[in-house]
Chain A
Amino acid sequence: DQQVKQNSPSLSVQEGRISILNCDYTNSMFDYFLWYKKYPAEGPTFLISISSIKDKNEDGRFTVFLNKSAKHLSLHIVPSQPGDSAVYFCAASARYGGSQGNLIFGKGTKLSVKP
């Protein structure tokens, strides 16, 4: 039973436009959410995070939005660049409860930004 779901395996966007990657979760104990980016043959690298006490966190071209009532978060990349082409993983953790602190990952969304 997947606790973190990324329902779009892939996304294609034109350079300069906005990329929106979505993530849904089922465990209401999750209180910290992260996005990782992964290039082929490399490990995931941390991109941006958000705590459940916030609904938005911005870092340059990257913004993460959290909707707790819908158990949904999204990553916006604007403007998208060809170098953003990678697999993006959503991850979540819970400070309390079973498996606390364990990062639970989604299956990832492959983003392709076309010049």
Chain B
Amino acid sequence: DAMVIQNPRYQVTQFGKPVTLSCSQTLNHNVMYWYQQKSSQAPKLLFHYYDKDFNNEADTPDNFQSRRPNTSFCFLDIRSPGLGDAAMYLCATSRAFGGRTEAFFGQGTRLTVV
């Protein structure tokens, strides 16, 4: 089945140690998104790629970076994780941006910072 896959499902990292979360999709969608969701909060968009074009949300900390080497894969890099970065990270894809199209989400990666 076509889907959005995130690895790993659970990630524990040390305070200040760089960590990378990965996302792959078989939907061949143009747009890939990274959302951060903290407990009892709404998912918050960090950035998105429209094809190779990277779009950062204005309030996304510099500590968060992303790479999209090809259509299928997208990575979230956290350069120096702090305790406040512990959250569920959701990857999503959609066919287009700014229109009548829903986003398809992966299962998420729960990040713990110790």
The 9 tightest CB contacts between A and B, nearest first, are A101-B98, A43-B105, A105-B42, A101-B97, A46-B102, A100-B98, A107-B42, A105-B43, A43-B107
> Is A107 touching B40 in the complex (CB atoms < 8 A)?
yes
> Is B102 touching A49 in the complex (CB atoms < 8 A)?
yes
Chain A 20-51: CB-based contact to B (< 8 A → 1; otherwise 0): 00000000000010101000011111100101
Which A-chain residue is minimally distant from B100 (CB atoms)?
A: A32
Give the tally of cross-chain contacts (CB within 8 A).
Answer: 57
Can you name 27 A-B pairs with beta carbons within 8 Å?
A2-B42, A4-B42, A32-B100, A41-B107, A42-B108, A43-B4, A43-B90, A43-B92, A43-B107, A44-B90, A45-B105, A46-B102, A46-B104, A49-B100, A49-B102, A51-B100, A95-B98, A100-B97, A100-B98, A101-B97, A102-B48, A103-B33, A103-B45, A104-B42, A105-B44, A107-B41, A108-B42
Interface centre among A4, A9, A104 (most CB of B within 10 A): A104
Interfacial residues, chain B to chain A (CB-CB below 8 A): 4, 6, 9, 33, 40-45, 48, 57, 90, 92, 96-100, 102-108
The majority secondary structure among interface residues of chain A is loop
Contacts of B42 in A (CB 8 A): 2, 4, 89, 104-108
Min Cβ gap B22→A in Å is 14
Which A-chain residue is minimally distant from B90 (CB atoms)?
A: A43
Given contacts A43-B4, A95-B99, 11 further A-B contacts (CB under 8 A): A32-B99, A41-B9, A43-B92, A43-B106, A46-B103, A100-B97, A101-B96, A101-B99, A102-B45, A102-B57, A107-B40
Which A-chain residue is minimally distant from B98 (CB atoms)?
A: A101
| A44 to B103 Cα, complex, angstroms | 9
Name the interface size band of chain A: 20 to 34
